[in-house]
Amino acid sequence: MRFKAPSPSGTDLIPPDPSENSLPAHTALSDLDEAIETLGTAVPCRAYDPEVFFAESPEDVEYAKSLCQTCPLREACLAGAVDRREPWGVWGGELFVQGVVVARKRPRGRPRKNTVVA
């Protein structure tokens, strides 16, 4: 299933200047919630369907990670997810599987026996 951006509501989603709303790297989840409420739709996890950040296909996971790149709370979100050892999902632009950051989601099925030469 591919996810699409929400329909525009008359205004473009322009992220605010991160220096205006900076949080310390390690913040409590409640502090992040307050910052998210303040920033509103400038935070991708509030502007897009939450299922995007818990997708199964590798393509959808990469899409979710790309959405996080413009988020003003990315660093604080990632630090909090590492501290909480989030079991899975995209947090702060990184994929978590069983509480650990992984580089990319592997597709389902068996791995190749021989490496593919590109």
Q: Which one-letter DSSP state was computed for residue 102? A: E
Which position has the higher pLDDT, 34 or 21?
34
Residue type, 22: S
Count the residues in the chain.
Answer: 118
Residues 89-112: tens digit of each pLDDT:
999 999 998 888 887 776 667 766
Q: Is 78 a residue whose pLDDT tops 80?
A: yes
Helix or strand (DSSP H, E) at 29: helix 29-39
- The structure's pTM equals 0.61
d(C-alpha 73, C-alpha 24), whole Å: 10
Q: Which DSSP category does 64 fall into?
A: H
Asked whether the beta carbons of 48 and 76 are under 8 A apart, the reply is no
Is the confidence at residue 11, as pLDDT, over 80?
Answer: no
Check: CB of residue 32 under 8 Å from CB of residue 77: yes
Residue 26: per-residue pLDDT? 47
- 23-59 as b/e, with b when 16 or more CB fall inside 10 Å? beeebeeeebeebbeebeebbbbebbeeebbebeeee
